[in-house]
Amino acid sequence: MTVIAQLSDIHVRPHGVLYQDAVDSNAMFSAAVDSLNSNRPEPDLVVISGDLTDEGTVDEYQKLRELLARLRQPFVVMPGNHDNRGNLRAAFPDHPWLPGEGSLSFARDVGQLRLVALDTSVPGLHHGELDAASLAWLDDELTVHRDQTVVIFMHHPPFMTGIPYLDIYGLRNADALAMVLARHKNVDRILAGHVHRSMQTRLGNVPVLTCPSTTTQIALRVEADAQPASFLEPPAYMLHRWTGRGQPAVSHLCYVGRFEGPLPFA
């Protein structure tokens, strides 16, 4: 069995600074770390799928390293639209799989899986895009590892959410990604962040799931004139469990917090 925990959109701020001047995102991420540390069995790997920081500053990445020091499991990080590639790379010199320049896409084995992290960020902008080099690299990865189950992590999900103020900043060329995936049969699922909500759909034949934020959740407003809004809903993360033998993953939504129970029934 292989278990990967996914956290996303943690929006770490400098010490003493609130996210959006309203929410202690650092404390909420720290609570998520506590929850992960108590998981049994422990995940084989923790993936933080973008928006590690809110403004991409050196101070924020230093605070992120401080908060991650308490995490018991190995972890990997990848950028989102709120991150800065250069500062992120400099903050994690102990992560040799991060490329030394350009896109921060990478791949590595986790148990029987091949994990592919696609960098969808566009420096200085908030929408996502996969350039031709990234798509060619993905095509090569899927070809070379055709006999392995592959899971793709990316920050921007490759679909329209129906929430107008989110879709302005979505992935611009999901159709090009779909064309690459159509040539391969070994991708179990795509796991994304960015939208601060749990969503599920498909890209071609590949399931796509999004991970909620460990801080505020974006409001489900689908009216054409909807205004941006968020709620202080329970923070959450995902646990993805592969049992092997060619079986697809089972993905679990895990809320962070203290809740009444356990009660003696199921």
Peptide bond into 262 cis (omega under 30): yes
pLDDT digits (tens, 9 = 90+) for 120-173: 999 999 999 999 999 999 999 999 999 999 999 999 999 999 999 999 999 999
Establish whether the linkage from the previous residue to 41 is cis, with ω within 30° of 0.
yes
Q: Which domains are present in the chain?
A: 2-255 (3.60.21.10)
184: pLDDT strictly greater than 90: yes
Contact in structure between 238 and 5 (CB atoms under 8 Å): yes
pLDDT by residue (tens digit) across 3-62? 999 999 999 999 999 999 999 999 999 999 999 999 998 999 999 999 999 999 999 999
Residue 185 CB neighbour total at 10 angstroms: 11
Q: What is the mean pLDDT of residues 98-117?
A: 96
For 77-88, what is each residue's pLDDT tens digit? 999 999 999 999
